[in-house]
Chains A and B, each alone.
Chain A
């Protein structure tokens, strides 16, 4: 079953999470995304001046880990965490600017996935950014915190996102400095992302240099990716099923 599709539009690579489901981050979907990223990296054309845009169909950008699939198996949860962390390494070292065009809800691990892009454009008529862990009763791993600390500058906003499980609309996310632009609809959001992508592509940046600079910028995240203390400890983890 296809979980994502990759298309090339000039210098832009557009990765779309297909289907009207919640685009939960299970091993199958993560593998498909990584495979698409791999395809881009190993493509024959020069990557300088290229841009990646990640978007999704339907009501959800991504609703987080596939907790239903994992059930009560700590091994499955650990597998999802380690695969997501590998995906994050891919994104942070990706040899071109990355734009997330958020056309639906991005929650928990789904929000982290979105935040791992360089730019975020989001629709303002629908959808939330939401770290649901506090509401579900799950501890947030240190590596998630590192992503948020890098991408959400303000201490009070971080506090609201993490300790208050605040649901942010695109407008609120722009005001809080988390995302770049809020646009009217799904179509406008993708259009806006493409426009931003084209402007970034025009710079003709060398992919390798971009990758190295981004890795240093987000060194704090990279340093934390080796461990997920919430999933590595088998005995103490009880898996919650989604509240959505």
Chain B
């Protein structure tokens, strides 16, 4: 479902699995959370993580087929949907509490919960020649859960946020760069992936203390972290 590789100080999380769209279901989510735990356990000063994917999609949202396949009634579908939502919350928590800088190398289309996954990272790099970022909920007539709204409020400002959420825009890489959603755009899947790992390496070179990094990240996103139930620790480890 996903694989984790360690290259020097850089952790590379790859979304794999048969699903071309890398849709988020409980299995993939559990697999990603486990990989993040592993990265955390193996982390040291100056670690970083980049998430990559292959093919036409980075992540196209939640796995509605899974929801419908296992449900035998509307009520059961709702329960599975709720379960999926709670898993997603745990996924956001896992990323936000990861003690190292994170980069999402978005190789293709990213939609709905996939956008949430991308925004869980500190930095987003997109592809210039292909792929759109799209919050499809409005077009599909689905509401957006409060914790994801908090994530948007934390990471994206003003009219950009309004445009993503209330306008149903399909945003290409260049646009995303201009709107301040993406840090950089590159051509080709390899271009994006290489740029992602390069950025990860650059951030790792700063040799930041992971515990301090995550505490400062929490301070930067207090509303989101409060909703995720994250408590603060006071840490200050001198750089000697």
Could you list which residues of chain A lie within 8 angstroms of chain B, going by C-beta atoms?
133-142, 144-145, 153-156, 158-159, 162-165, 229-230, 233, 236-241, 243
B237 proximity list for chain A (CB < 8 A)? 137, 238, 240
Minimum CB distance partner of B232 in chain A: A229
Task: Please name all residues of chain A whose beta carbon is closer than 8 Å to the beta carbon of B232 when the two chains form the complex.
Answer: 229
B side interface size, CB within 8 A: 28
Asked whether B238 lies within 8 Å of A241 as measured between CB atoms, the reply is: yes
- In contact, B235 and A145 (Cβ under 8 angstroms): no
Q: Closest Cβ of chain A: how far from B222's Cβ, in Å?
A: 7
Which B residues form the contact surface with A (CB < 8 A)?
101, 122, 154-158, 180, 203, 206, 208-209, 212-213, 215-217, 219-220, 222, 232-239
B238 — which chain A residues lie within 8 A by C-beta?
Answer: 136-137, 238-241
B236 near A165 with CB under 8 A, answer no
Contacts A135-B208, A154-B157, A155-B154; is A236 near B234 (CB within 8 Å)? yes
The answer to whether A138 touches B157 (Cβ under 8 A) is: no
| A240–B203 CA distance with the chains assembled, in angstroms | 21
A153 (CB) vs chain B CBs: closest residue: B157
Q: Which of A138, A144, A159 interacts with B212 by CB under 8 Å?
A: A138
Nearest residue in A to B152 (C-beta to C-beta)? A155
Using A229-B234, A240-B236 as known contacts, say yes or no to A139 and B212 having CB atoms under 8 A apart: yes
Tally the A-B contacts, defined by beta carbons under 8 Å: 87
Ranked nearest first, the 3 interchain pairs of A and B with the lowest CB-CB distance are A240-B238, A236-B234, A233-B234
Q: Once bound together, how far apart are the Cα atoms of A134 and B203, in whole Å?
A: 12
Residue of A133, A139, A238, A243 with most chain B CB atoms under a 10 A cut-off: A139
Q: Say whether, besides A155-B154, A230-B234, A135 and B222 are in contact (CB < 8 Å).
A: no
Is the Cβ of A238 less than 8 Å from the Cβ of B236?
A: yes
9 A-B pairs with C-beta separation under 8 A: A134-B216, A139-B234, A154-B157, A156-B155, A158-B220, A163-B101, A163-B122, A239-B236, A243-B239
A139 touches B154 (CB 8 A): no
Nearest chain B CB to A132 CB, angstrom units? 10
* Interface-central residue, B180, B209, B219, by most chain A CB under 10 Å: B219
CB distance from A7 to the nearest CB of B (A): 38
Closest approach, in angstroms, between the C-beta of A221 and any C-beta of chain B?
13
Interfacial chain B residues near A144, Cβ < 8 Å:
219
Known: A163-B101, A230-B234, A236-B236. 14 other contacts (CB 8 A): A134-B208, A135-B239, A136-B239, A137-B239, A139-B234, A155-B154, A156-B157, A156-B180, A158-B220, A159-B220, A163-B122, A233-B234, A240-B238, A241-B238
Q: Which residue of A lies closest to B219 (CB)?
A: A145
Residue of A nearest to B156 (CB): A155
Instruction: Indicate if the CB atoms of A135 and B206 lie closer than 8 Å.
Output: yes
Q: What is the distance, in angstroms, from B143's C-beta to the closest C-beta of chain A?
A: 23
A135 to B208 alpha-carbon distance, docked (Å): 6
- Cα distance A230–B219 in the bound complex, in angstroms: 11
> Which A residues touch B219, using CB under 8 A?
139-142, 144-145, 162
Q: Which residue of B lies closest to A162 (CB)?
A: B220
| Interchain CB contact under 8 A, A134 and B213 | yes
Closest to A146 in B: B222
Complex: how many Å from CA A235 to CA B154?
31
* Cα(A213)–Cα(B157), bound, Å: 24
**Could you say which residues of chain A place their CB within 8 Å of the CB of B122?**
159, 163
Give Cα distance in the complex from A145 to B235, angstroms.
16
Shortest CB–CB separation between residue B200 and chain A, in angstroms? 13
Closest to A138 in B: B236
Contact check, B234 vs A163: say whether CB atoms are below 8 A apart. no
By beta carbon, the residue of chain A nearest B216 is: A140
State the CA gap A156–B179 with chains docked (Å). 10
Minimal Cβ-Cβ distance residue in B for A142: B219
Check if A230 sits within 8 Å of B236, measured CB to CB.
Answer: yes
A142 contacts across to B, CB distance below 8 A = 219, 222
